[in-house]
Amino acid sequence: MAGRPRESPRAVIGLLVCTVAAAGLLFQAGVLADTAGKGLKQERRELGPFLTAAARVVPPGADFASNVYAAGYALYPRRHVKIRFKGSEENLRARLRNAGVRYLVMSVPLPRAMGDPATWTRRLYEGRRGVVLEIR
């Protein structure tokens, strides 16, 4: 008898499980992308005036470090140097010096690793959301 071959129940169940899993992964990816986008928009909205002021103060082409995620985008074409603001003040200052960083665009409160920045930086701008510091 020449007919359509019969599919096994296991194959049908396996195909159904794979289809449901793929749909679930697509849904999760969409929710994650939406959540991340909303978070970045909120950060830009809250930090927008501060980042605008930082862009006026930090000269184009300067190297800067920041603890504000959106600063790399807002201050382009300046070079955002990725620095971890952890450890001792001495180590942080050495990492900044070795990386050639001259400006810091920081949200407040400042990280503990910065110690007393008044002893080694000069405030160029201070706002409600953050400060822009120049390393001496």
For the segment 64-95, what is each residue's pLDDT rounded down to a tens digit?
Answer: 999 998 899 899 999 999 999 999 999 999 99
Least Cα distance to 136 among 123, 126, 68 occurs for 123
Question: 93-117, pLDDT tens digit by residue?
Answer: 999 999 999 999 999 999 999 999 9
Sheet holding 103-107, edge to edge: 79-80, 63-66, 103-107, 130-135, 121-126
Q: What does the chain come to in residues?
A: 136
Confidence class of residue 62 from pLDDT cuts 50, 70 and 90? Answer: very high
Residues contacting 135, CB < 8 A, separation 6+: 96, 97, 101, 102, 103, 104, 120, 121
Residue 131: the pLDDT is 96
Give strand pairing partners of 80: 64
The rounded mean pLDDT for the chain is: 86
- Predicted confidence (pLDDT) at residue 38 exceeds the cutoff of 60: no
Give strand pairing partners of 107: 130
